[in-house]
Amino acid sequence: MLLVKYGLILLIFKLFPLCCNGDRIKHRMYIDINASTSCFRRLNATHQVGCSSKRAGATGVAHFCEVENDLTFILKNGNAGPYIPILPVSLWSKKILQTLEKSSKVSGLLLYMNNETLVSFSHDLQCPNENYGVENTCSKTDDLKWNSGGTGILFENIRFPVFYIDKHDDIKTVRDCFNKFNNYSYDTQRDRSLCSVQLNSFMFGAKNTPTCIRRSNIATNLNPVRVCDPLGDKNVWASLFPLATYDEKTDKIKPILGQKYIVVAARTDTASFFDRTSGADSPITGLVTLLAVAKLLKQMLPKNENYNTNVLFILFNGETFDYIGSQRVLYDMQNGNFPIETQNGTAEIFPVIKPSDISLFIELSQLSRGDGRVFAHLYKVDSKNTNFTERLRTNMAASISLQKSEGTLPPSSVQTFLKKYENLSTIILTNHLRAFSNKFYNSIFDNSTNINYEYLNIGPSSIQQHLSDVANTISKSIFEEITGQTYTAQNQKVSELVDELLHCYLENPNCKIFQAVGKQPQQQQNRPFNLYVGVDGNTNKATTLLGFVLGWFVGDIVGESNENCTNISKNYAFRFYNMSVSMNDLNNTMCFRMVMNFTEAVSPAFIIKDYDWSSNLYSSWSESTWGEINMRLFLKPSTSHESMTMAVGCLSLLFSSILVYFIKSRSHILFTPESIQPSPVDC
């Protein structure tokens, strides 16, 4: 009996998934567009920027535009509003935004990808991060606007949601729907059902960061709701030579004190108006050059032969949003917590590195080839950076001309340091003298086309060759700076490495280098990594891999690859990983020892107790949380149809009430009961 019972239950459960795929009416009414990304809300100490829909989502009649006139037409003649215009992303400009903001007929905006060649497309400010850098390094009036094409839309508070679709199928679906229902006789649009769009991206955070942090901390029930998170990720640092000596006999770690450091820095993050980034020129060119420099220097200087200068590679994260990463590194340095957290600033494992220990700060900014010139920006000219610039000039490949620019300071991590330590010797290497040569700064169009990158196509004037030349120049100059000797050996060939790194970041994250450091081939998405800084507590996979790649380049092979490599050592001065020997020999792994680590890249504003938000000392950006972001198409019923339904319903209600009341009150006349004998009742 029991067997039969369980047999039946089993049968039902087995059969259940085969049938009953609850096909609701809803599924026939809506088309979900899954591959859409949305603009979301960020907050700083005083403002909210970005977009949010209403809690139930924004709905509007779709209007597909090819050119700007289509938009003007519907804003003027549309009578079935509110509308959600569907614009090609190339039209997205400040002017369009103002038009849409002013119009009462617009409840949302949908942008779609088109392959138009654009002159400029950048939504960052004309003076990026102006308020948190050194004063008077950017002015809006004369020609010293760094991002001259910047619209600043990224930092606008937009009253309606904005979505972006880039899949051809999705764009076609939307266009077909519009053509079928909406795209004829606009005068009678009111009287018929129309293809409409619902954009749902309600943001929980509002007003500004202090407010939303306070709201997040109110415990009204057992399940507190976070309405915003600080922006943040991790910085990556690595040193060329070990920072500590390790005595195997006594098992003691002794920090190497009293050294000077040459800092080679770059930023690792970008941003865009949507939750999707490209970032080829900024930050990938600088980042890849830094990695190539690390690789070259390790080959040139495999061991520290009593040099009193070390090289520190630092990759700052969150620089797009008021220099989050560099501010935190500087804050940690000032408090004796760099490179690792210490008790009262005493060195135990690593030396405590202070800003005064930095002898030279070299930042690699946007370095795409452009017209083949590289500019060295020296803000405060002193002997150190002048000498180094001379070294660069001598070592530079013939195809590249190096130009010195004194007194200029482009937006860079250096600004954070110069703001506090104005005598720091700094050099910023970049491809522009005044305004950025990159017209797509912090936008989705800063892609491989923007830097003329083609995988496996390393010509003499290719970006790969250019970056590897620049990397060679820098590393030779640093070699000379450290050793005091001239580097005489041949140039190392790193263009293939650069090629592969660019491929990793711009095209395919399943590339050879990421596989080499990632212990085993990883299942990753095919879309390139998103280099937006993200929120604190949620480390971007790209950052972790970046740390491993940097560590791989500066690391030493210490033995066979096995479990003992990562497990046994309790030596905290190093990190140990099993990694492939080279990117062309992935299966041959060895045990690597490296001095590389991550530090928090969260603005000090969020860790200082009772921080005064109005002081504007540190970046205060946070990102609102949201429930869900989705988009769907549907058919909006016409008003006349709705009224008709309502009228029929009300008539039914009215007539039935009268009729039922009539029959009820007249029932003794209407119905003559048949006389039946009452059944004998038991009393």
Partner 1 sequence: MTVVEFLGCMFLAFGPPFFMFILTIAHDPVRIIILIAAAFFWLLSLLISSFWWFIVYPLRNDLVFGVIFSVIFQEFFRGVIYSILRRAQIGLTKLTDDTTTLIENKHILAYVSGLGFGIISGAFSLINVLADSVGPGTMGLKSGTEMFFISSSTITLCFILLHTFWGVIFFDAMDKKNTLVITAVVVSHLLVSCLTLLNRYQVYYYTIVPIAIICALTGLFAFKTAGGSYKGFKSSFVYR
* Residues at the interface with partner 1 (CB under 8 A): 15, 19, 24-26, 28-31, 59, 177, 193, 195-196, 198, 633-638, 641-650, 652-653, 656-657, 659-662, 664, 666, 669-674, 676, 678-679, 681
Q: Name the minimum Å distance from CB 350 to partner 1.
A: 59
How far apart are the C-alpha atoms of 503 and 494, rounded to whole Å?
Answer: 14
With beta carbons less than 8 A apart as the criterion, state whether 362 and 289 touch. no
How far apart are the C-alpha atoms of 521 and 552, rounded to whole Å?
Answer: 16
Instruction: Report the residue number, 607 or 644, with the smaller CB distance to partner 1.
Output: 644
Q: Which residue is associated with the tokens 């004369």?
A: 142
* Short-list 284, 324, 267, CA closest to 438: 284
- Provide φ and ψ at 64, rounded to 5°: -85, 120
**What amino acid is encoded at 121 in this protein?**
F
- Provide φ and ψ at 25, rounded to 5°: -55, -35
Instruction: Report the residue number, 10 or 433, with the smaller CB distance to partner 1.
Output: 10
* Short-list 154, 322, 155, CA closest to 231: 322
Sign of the Cα pseudo-torsion (441, 442, 448, 449, in order): negative
Instruction: Report the residue number, 557 or 648, with the smaller CB distance to partner 1.
Output: 648
Instruction: Report the residue number, 193 or 571, with the smaller CB distance to partner 1.
Output: 193
Q: Is 676 exposed, middle or buried (0-12, 13-18, 19+ CB in 10 A)?
A: exposed
Instruction: Report the residue number, 36 or 580, with the smaller CB distance to partner 1.
Output: 36
Residues 6+ apart with CB under 8 A from 212: 43, 205, 206, 227, 228, 622, 624
Query: What are the CA-CA distances from residue 447 to residues 279, 293, 368 (Å)?
Result: 6, 23, 11
Instruction: Report the residue number, 614 or 639, with the smaller CB distance to partner 1.
Output: 639
Q: Name the minimum Å distance from CB 170 to partner 1.
A: 15
Instruction: Report the residue number, 21 or 383, with the smaller CB distance to partner 1.
Output: 21
Q: Name the minimum Å distance from CB 32 to partner 1.
A: 12
The token pair at 44 is 């700083």
| Residues in the chain, overall count | 683
Q: Name the minimum Å distance from CB 13 to partner 1.
A: 12
Q: Name the minimum Å distance from CB 625 to partner 1.
A: 25
Q: Name the minimum Å distance from CB 25 to partner 1.
A: 4
Instruction: Report the residue number, 493 or 641, with the smaller CB distance to partner 1.
Output: 641
How far apart are the C-alpha atoms of 599 and 473, rounded to whole Å?
Answer: 29
Q: Name the minimum Å distance from CB 2 to partner 1.
A: 21
Q: Name the minimum Å distance from CB 659 to partner 1.
A: 8
How far apart are the C-alpha atoms of 395 and 328, rounded to whole Å?
Answer: 34
Instruction: Report the residue number, 377 or 636, with the smaller CB distance to partner 1.
Output: 636
Q: Name the minimum Å distance from CB 86 to partner 1.
A: 16
Instruction: Report the residue number, 225 or 648, with the smaller CB distance to partner 1.
Output: 648
How far apart are the C-alpha atoms of 599 and 135, rounded to whole Å?
Answer: 28
The CB-side HSE value for 169 (13 A sphere, CA atoms) comes to 6
Q: Name the minimum Å distance from CB 143 to partner 1.
A: 50
Instruction: Report the residue number, 316 or 634, with the smaller CB distance to partner 1.
Output: 634
How far apart are the C-alpha atoms of 52 and 202, rounded to whole Å?
Answer: 5
Q: Name the minimum Å distance from CB 678 to partner 1.
A: 5
Q: Name the minimum Å distance from CB 9 to partner 1.
A: 14
Instruction: Report the residue number, 181 or 273, with the smaller CB distance to partner 1.
Output: 181
Q: Name the minimum Å distance from CB 108 to partner 1.
A: 12
> How does DSSP classify residue 533?
-
Q: What is the DSSP string of 5-71?
A: HHHHHHHHHHHGGGS-----HHHHH-EEE-SEEE---EE-SS-EEB----TT-EEEEEEE-SSHHHH
Terminus-to-terminus CA distance in the chain, angstroms? 48
Residue 498 DSSP SS3: helix
Instruction: Report the residue number, 11 or 608, with the smaller CB distance to partner 1.
Output: 11
Ordered alpha helix ranges (H), 379-440: 383-395, 414-420
